[in-house]
Homo-oligomer: A and B are copies of this chain.
Amino acid sequence: MPASTAYAEYHRCLSRLADLDAALALLNWDQEIMMPKGAGPRRAGQLATLAGLRHQLYLTDLPPLLAALEDAAELDEIQRLNVARSRTDFAKQSRLPAELVAELTRAASEGQFAWEAAKEASDFAAFAPFLERIIDLKRRQADCYGFEATPYDALLDDYERGLTVAQLDAYFDALAGDLRQLLSEVQQGQTPEADFLRQVIDEERQWKFTLEVLDLLGFDAHYGRQDRSAHPFSTAMGMEDVRITTRLEADHLLDAVYSTIHEFGHALYERNLPPEAYGLPQAQASSLALHESQSRFWENEVGRSRAFVAWIEPRLRSCFPDGLRGRSTDELFRALNRVEASLIRTQADELTYHLHIILRYRLEKDLIEGRLAVRQLPEAWNAGMKELLGIDVPDDRRGVLQDVHWSIGAWGYFPTYSLGSLYAAQWRAQIENELGSLATLIEHERLAEVRAWLRERIHSQGSLYTADELCRRVTGRSLDPDLFVSALRSKLQTVYGFSPRPSVS
Contact = CB atoms under 8 A, between A and B. Distances in A.
A461 to B, nearest CB: 21
Copies in the complex: 2
Interface in A195-249: 220-225, 237-238, 240-241
A222 to B, nearest CB: 4
A278 B42 contact: yes
Interface string A27-45: 1001000111111011101
Nearest to A223: B38
Contacts of A223: 36, 38-39
A278 B50 CA distance: 16
B36 A27 contact: no
Nearest to A275: B42
Contacts of A402: none
A442 B288 CA distance: 58
A23 interface: yes
B42 A241 contact: yes
Nearest to A23: B23
A466 to B, nearest CB: 27
A57 to B, nearest CB: 8
A45 B278 CA distance: 11
A41 B223 CA distance: 12
A207 to B, nearest CB: 15
Contact of A34 (B37, B38, B222, B225): B225
A38 B237 CA distance: 12
Nearest to A19: B49
Given A45-B19, A50-B23, A222 B36 contact: yes
Contacts of A224: 36
Contact of A49 (B16, B26, B43): B16
Given A20-B49, A45-B19, A238 B39 contact: yes
Contacts of A22: 42, 46
A225 B36 contact: yes
Given A19-B49, A19-B50, A42-B237, 13 more contacts: A23-B46, A36-B221, A36-B222, A36-B223, A36-B225, A38-B220, A38-B240, A39-B223, A39-B238, A42-B238, A42-B240, A43-B241, A46-B238
28 contacts: A16-B53, A19-B46, A19-B50, A20-B49, A20-B50, A23-B26, A23-B46, A26-B26, A26-B27, A30-B30, A35-B241, A36-B223, A36-B240, A36-B241, A38-B222, A38-B240, A39-B223, A39-B237, A39-B241, A41-B240, A42-B237, A42-B238, A42-B240, A42-B241, A43-B237, A43-B238, A46-B237, A53-B57
